[in-house]
Structure 1
Amino acid sequence: MDWVSRIAEERIREAIERGELRNLPGEGKPLEIEDLSHVPEDLRTAYIMMRNAGIVPEEVQLAKETVTLADLLRMCRTDEERADIRKKLNERRLRLRLLMEQRGWYGAAAWDTYGERIEKRLGGDEA
């Protein structure tokens, strides 16, 4: 055991003795172990911190915006509204496609298999 672990264990033991760890949320309940096998090991801490802060990757945010704009486009009543939303939608789709190309997703086997379905689901063919 390294010195950092020893200090941490000692501080935890002292806090238990002082009663500082009583009545905490989740006390007596099993820990929920999250499966992070899909996240590279060196990125897990950053992933958890970003998730807990409510930060999502740009491509996820763009995908959500794309779906929202596609829904709005279907509900437009005037050509002027439609043109404005279509412009925003095309900008988001282009940015999303560029991000995915930069990350190498378009050449990936998974993208070859599921890419068309993903784009349809995001409203790519409906607007």
Structure 2
Amino acid sequence: MSESVWWILEKVAEDKIQRAIDEGQFEKLPGMGKPLEMEDTSWVPEELRMAYKILKNSGHVPKEVEERKELNNLVEALENCEDEQERYRQMRKLNAMVTRVNASRATPVRVDVEDAYYEKIVERVRLYGKRPDKDR
């Protein structure tokens, strides 16, 4: 589209917003005056975040995306766990989820060494192993 068309669309949108403000349509909205709740989508590749947001808002997030989010949450919980018994429980939970994900697919998930997500997990686990234990 040419610049003049964008300018016209922008002007129409601004006029509609101003009219809604003048009519009080933005008053007493849920969450008014509260900070926005920002969703952590760092686990979604940057180039897919907009598509993820659109799918999520429409209630159509693919199962694989939800599984990856859950796996990421389990890895973070494991990474931040100080208690040895709790760490073991988190590791078992992570292992169980990977097993469940693989069992639900026709072909098991093969984590490719070139996969950025795989590299991120390996780096986290490697760094976790280098953390000094406070109990020792």
Q: TM-score range by the shorter chain?
A: 0.3 to 0.5
Q: TM-score, normalised by structure 1?
A: 0.46
Q: TM-score, normalised by structure 2?
A: 0.44
